[in-house]
Amino acid sequence: MSPVNAVLRRELRSYFVTPVAYVFLVIFLVLAGILTFYVGDFYERGQADLQPFFVTHPWLYLILVPAITMRMWAEETKGGTLELLLTLPLTLWQAMLGKFLAAWLFIGLALVLTFPIWITVNYLGSPDNGVIVAGYLGSWLMAGNFIAIGACLSALTRSQVVAFILTALVCVLLILAGQPQVLDFFQGALPRRLVNAVAHLSMLRHFEAISRGVLDLRDLVYFLFSTLGWLIAGVLLLDLKRTR
Amino acid sequence: MIETEQLTRRYGNLTAVDALSIRVEPGQVLGLLGPNGAGKTTAMRMIAGFLVPTSGSARVCGHDVLREPLQAKRALGYLPEGAPSYGEMTVREFLQFIVRMRGLKGEAGYRRFDAVVQQLQLDDVLGLGIDTLSKGLRRRVGLAQAILHDPPVLMLDEPTDGLDPNQKHAVRQLIDVMARERTILISTHLLEEVRALCNRVVIIARGKLLADATPAELEARSRYHGAVSFSAPGSGMSQEMLGRLPQVAGIEIDPLDGRITVFPKPGARILEPVETLLREQGLEVSEIQLERGRLDEVFRQITSGDEATAGARA
């Protein structure tokens, strides 16, 4: 696992020597705060929980995760360092895993840094901290899924802008898949079973289930498989590039 | 050891490397020579395992680059074209990253790191960002990266490109020292480099192998091989005499500086007869030179000949 570790450390370091990490952390923390209090009515609801905080996460990730992942492979392809990396003794899988884990740990750090809001809600009332932990877990899993999508689509192109837009597009489709408006649209056109399938693709639905504190195996499996699937697709794309 | 068998790579209709079979043994420094776009870089990328061949195979130290990629990559030190490296890292961070990627641990890692930094004289720039380095320094960092794990096989894509004459000399010395027990494959389009570094030359153009010889053998193919040239003002009359020597095939005069070149008949040695004749004629010759042959001329002849035949086929 040493090469995975080396790639992971290099990636994390590159976040922090470029402004990417700080810009991300500041924007994430500020937006999460503002949205929770002003849009989520944190105080006015009069409930001691972090629901208004967690509902903002899919939308924050939608903008911020592609910004982290767009450079992941596109930059290496364009700068020629891909040739250096892939002629070192490591497999494509190890390279992909190292990069994925670096981004995932980084988002984990961003989530940890939101701890003041957890302190606040514990100061104001007595929330169910188990539910809050589940919420954080769900949010982190969802972030991992977004990152895997971004990692795959970054391998598709040498343009970071294209990688950003494609990633945001796929993510918004996956968020919205379970919304009533979308399902209504499909209701007439597709058989009932397919509509249900579309609904199950919805990331939001699985995330909401976990963040309510219901740790259903199906939701965990959804995130696990989806994340793995996108990472496999990314590795296959990179491999395909070597033959074309 | 590097072996390729019928190594071929196509991009759509274009055949970048066409059934290339070469074998480089330990102790050899093979110069892969060819015009731009001849397929040198593509061939190296396949041997390094970065590109997958369309057909054919490549082995590094007996390990097939497709079937045992990790073993092949461990045996190989590779400097890709343009010496890419991570610009946002410092030289120290970058080399430490390579140390970890190469699985060099603890004491051994430090030892190799120090040795390579010393060999390539990177002490003063360890703390600098790679983005801020000059082209020559970046190339040296790339070389350091390639030799860090002390590999038995070294493959360098244009190792001295962009270096000044002093740096070129230093890099060539380094390669010379490393060459003794290693297998080295370098690509270049600098003919002086071939003469200075390589004990074997492979010339390719349009992906095809056109010549495989030592630099001296290639020079012997030149029409200048064994020719004698000298400058002698007012030698107009002696030309005729020279032309009448039995060993001489022809005479040329450089229209710019009036330097006279006398070409031998195949296999003939003409230095002595020419000298004798000039002495007998009482001509003042400031300096006289026996030509070894001109690599650039041979190179042009070999590579453009291919273009002509390819054009005829098309």
CB contact under 8 A, B86 and A87: no
Q: Looking at A198-202, B166-170, B268-272, which range is the least confident one?
A: A198-202
**Domain ranges within chain B, ordered by starting residue:** 2-220, 228-290
B102/A contact by beta carbon, under 8 A: yes
Q: Residue range A45-53: average pLDDT?
A: 80
Sorted by sequence, the CB contacts under 8 Å of residue B298 that are 6+ apart come out as: B218, B219, B221, B222
Contact A87/B84, CB-based, under 8 Å?
no
Say which amino acid occupies B86.
Answer: Y
Q: Does A2 touch chain B (CB under 8 A)?
A: yes
- Note the pLDDT tens digit of each residue in A126-141: 888 888 999 999 999 9
Q: Over the stretch B136-149, which tens digit does the pLDDT of each residue have?
A: 889 999 999 999 99
Residue in chain B nearest A76 by alpha carbon: B86
Residue B75: pLDDT above 90?
Answer: yes
Tell me the pairing of strands B14-20 and B23-24. unpaired
Considering its fold, how many domains does chain A have in total? Answer: 1
Question: Does the distance separating the beta carbons of A2 and B88 come in below 8 Å?
Answer: no
The residue ranking higher by pLDDT, B285 or A17, is A17
Q: Could you say which of 3.90.1310.10, 3.40.50.300, 3.30.70.20, 3.40.50.2000 is the CATH number of the domain covering B2-220?
A: 3.40.50.300
Q: Shortest Cα distance from A77 to chain B (angstroms)? A: 11
Q: How far apart are the first and last CA of chain B?
A: 37
Min Cα separation A217/chain B (Å):
37
Q: Are A88 and A234 spatial neighbours (Cβ–Cβ below 8 Å)?
A: no
Question: Does any CB of chain A come closer than 8 Å to the CB of residue B140?
Answer: no
Residue B304 has pLDDT above 60, yes or no: yes
- Kindly provide the ipTM of the predicted complex, given to two decimals: 0.88
Of the candidates A15, A170, A154, A14, the one whose C-alpha atom is nearest the C-alpha of residue A71 is A154
> Which residues in chain B have their CB less than 8 angstroms from residue A90's CB?
70, 101
Distance (Å) from the alpha carbon of A107 to chain B's nearest alpha carbon: 21
Choices 3.40.50.1820, 3.30.1490.20, 3.30.70.100, 3.40.309.10: CATH for B228-290:
3.30.70.100
B63 touches chain A (CB under 8 A): no
In tens, the pLDDT along A186-242 reads: 777 778 777 777 777 788 888 888 888 888 888 889 999 999 999 999 999 999 988
Structure tokens at B251: 């005479």
Q: What's the pTM?
A: 0.88
CA distance A135 to chain B (A): 36
Q: Which domain holds residue A233?
A: 2-243
Nearest CA in chain A to B9: A243
Indicate the average pLDDT of chain A.
Answer: 89
